[in-house]
Structure 1
């Protein structure tokens, strides 16, 4: 007890230094966050209003195969996405519950703590809810999305890796949402994409392709040709949503290679002049 008091008195006196004060404030905020999480878990009641079993959509295949969606992407209207965006805008503007949009027993994704934690990448919330209420991992929202869909579409790799180690992962990855999209569709879509702090757009495209192929390895093979409500396979959606990024990546690579070529010519000229200069000359 004496040592504890001495330690506390020392750090309290050291709070006068800015660096120590920052550490003190961060530790205090972490304690408050842990306490807030405990209160959230104690009062977490959304699981009672979320449907435990939601009808899974059937697998559908495209009648037009193969198709070059890159050439006719301007003619393809993503009706389901447009309708969903308009519905979200109306909901946020009116903030009212309309019949057919929000039912009494179904919550939207952003009002469920588990889904909100998965979309934000807050592992403490996801782990806390699933460990205390294991059945919550099987819940789906109004759109037929489970927590794995939310983690994949928001590119939260840590949440994905945590769910991958769980016993419910096999059933989670086979889920097909109400818009007939699999987790591979969400990996291919840029609907919730956030630009990462990478060196250039080519590296961002590389990261997107790596994420897509990582999800592609774990989905059932028949899902590779499954089409959503817009009649698009995951590969089609990948081409459409990343077409602009692909064009920007090509321009970035061209400009970077030209800059590197210029620098290489300058370095070669300096090395050549240094190699053939007369020793001791001016």
Structure 2
């Protein structure tokens, strides 16, 4: 038989024997009659005797199985904790143990284990001791240590391995996925960026892997990676995934992702979160422009419609989620796409109205790419018009963009008014015997009830607070701090500056709280018709909350002024402390009521913009 340099382990009666020899000779077995021995120990002795006579440099080392397992366990613990000194000492005693499999269940070496536990310092020193073949060792799942680093996103550990063995990035792991693909699947884009710095990696990747990498980069909003992949292979912009979607279809369904092509402003560069988001939006815009340019260059004009509509219309998907920049880029390059309809016969103007996407609605309107006939287009068997779409109640997901039934009703009414104003010179389509206005009232009957209940409950609570403040500050006006002079009845602190602050603050609090009471009373006595939610109810709510805040602020200032009058000349720290504590209720009032006030202000602003839109329409038509 032919024997080469090798080593073997033999287990006999619980004893583990390591046998080594080295020779390059063809060794022929004895031709004598073989000896039949049943005893295991006797067989070992016969083998050793034969090996010593036939093999050069024969060595045998004996040890217990338990001792071997104990050594492996100790190295495993050292790798887990990152204890390099202990591992180095074990390597001195047991040569080659650092490259051996020490985890039987996963079949992993010390490198696999240290990488899994992110022991970067340990890995750095361990890699220096290992060969390239050792770095290529795989565990039971077929993963190298670099694949494990890609799974956890440990870029520093990956650098140590790649610097030692550059081609390690090409060795696939579980599922035949390379480390860069594994990192993409686990959304470790910093790891993907590191791998793709070596652009030759893309050259060695299969087309389906490149495509998966591109889709993953777009899905996780890392468009710098997407641009790099498209630079290497432009045709990927036309490929489809298992759902038959192209990269453009994926981008179309992402809202608030694509920004403008404008560069960063100076103030945006100063804030890291704002800078990162703005850069992402700019790169998304560049990716969109590049891919749409590829589509226009590579696909015939008569086939672009099929590309857009299959498996779903990317233009309609973008309009549905409010992806206004996506719509802008496609319509700017090809305005005829505006008239494209989906399977239900809807164009993107219908989709924008149906899904209450005001940014898309305003974009299409401002681009002046449509004719009035397009707005009257009937798109299904029931002949539902654009105005009737606006009259229908929106889905809960669209209504929940604003808080409170009042502002939800305001948004619905505003949408109906805007579409109605556009179509005011055209034929109004009826559905059965009902007009679109009647349809709107019927569809929003429950929302009106919810809005009325909510706004009156809010007004009642706020009016109670305003009444309490008015009562307190009114009484304080006649019980001035320090009392009155017995001779002429004048206040004792009349000439003091803090007394002036007290009087002015108290008067402001009284007037503001009284005004707030009247405003909230007006809401309580309102009939809450549909049209009231368009302007007057939001206005009264904004003013009522504003005057209530002023009254709270005036009351707190009057309270603080009293302390300065009594203690300011003797113990200055007490009034300062009390004033600081008095700011707390003012702060919490702002925090707790800010969302409500902001929604009310937004409603008023939208109403004002609607009036401007109507004026612009009159000039246009």
Larger Rg: 2
Task: Tell me the residue number matched to 2:317.
Answer: 116
Q: Tell me: CA distance 1:48–1:239, structure 2 relative to 1, closer, same or farther (3 Å).
A: farther
| Separation (CA, whole Å) in 1 of partners of 2:392 and 2:318 | 20
TM-score, length of structure 1 as denominator length: 0.63
1:23-80: CA deviation from partner (whole Å, max 9, x where unpaired): 45324422431243124423377x95798xxxxxxxxxxxxxxxxxxxxxxxxxxxxx
Report 1:105-254 matches (<5 A).
107=309, 111-165=312-366, 166-178=368-380, 179-192=382-395, 194-198=398-402, 200-220=404-424, 223-227=427-431, 233-254=435-456
Q: Tell me: CA distance 1:274–1:174, structure 2 relative to 1, closer, same or farther (3 Å).
A: same
Task: Tell me the residue number matched to 1:72.
Answer: none
Q: Tell me: CA distance 1:130–1:105, structure 2 relative to 1, closer, same or farther (3 Å).
A: closer
Partner of residue 32 from structure 1, selected from 275, 283, 286? 283
Q: Tell me: CA distance 1:27–1:177, structure 2 relative to 1, closer, same or farther (3 Å).
A: same
Report the number of matched residues: 209
| Separation (CA, whole Å) in 2 of partners of 1:279 and 1:144 | 75
Partner of residue 479 from structure 2, selected from 274, 277, 281? 277
Gaps of 5+ in 1: 1-18, 52-103
Q: Is the 8 A contact 1:140 1:147 kept in 2?
A: yes
| Separation (CA, whole Å) in 2 of partners of 1:20 and 1:275 | 49
Q: Tell me: CA distance 1:197–1:112, structure 2 relative to 1, closer, same or farther (3 Å).
A: closer
CA-based RMSD of the aligned residues comes to: 3.3
Q: Is the 8 A contact 1:49 1:107 kept in 2?
A: no
Shift of 1:212: 0.7
Task: Tell me the residue number matched to 1:6.
Answer: none
Gaps of 5+ in 2: 1-269, 484-565, 567-621
Q: Is the 8 A contact 2:338 2:369 kept in 1?
A: no
Q: Tell me: CA distance 1:127–1:222, structure 2 relative to 1, closer, same or farther (3 Å).
A: closer
Q: Is 1:43 aligned with 2:305? A: no
| Separation (CA, whole Å) in 2 of partners of 1:242 and 1:157 | 20
Q: Which portions of structure 1, spanning 4 or more consecutive aligned residues, are displaced by more than 6 angstroms?
A: none
Higher relative contact order (CA closer than 8 Å, sequence separation 6+):
1
Q: Tell me: CA distance 1:217–1:255, structure 2 relative to 1, closer, same or farther (3 Å).
A: same
Q: Tell me: CA distance 1:240–1:106, structure 2 relative to 1, closer, same or farther (3 Å).
A: farther
Shift of 1:214: 1.1
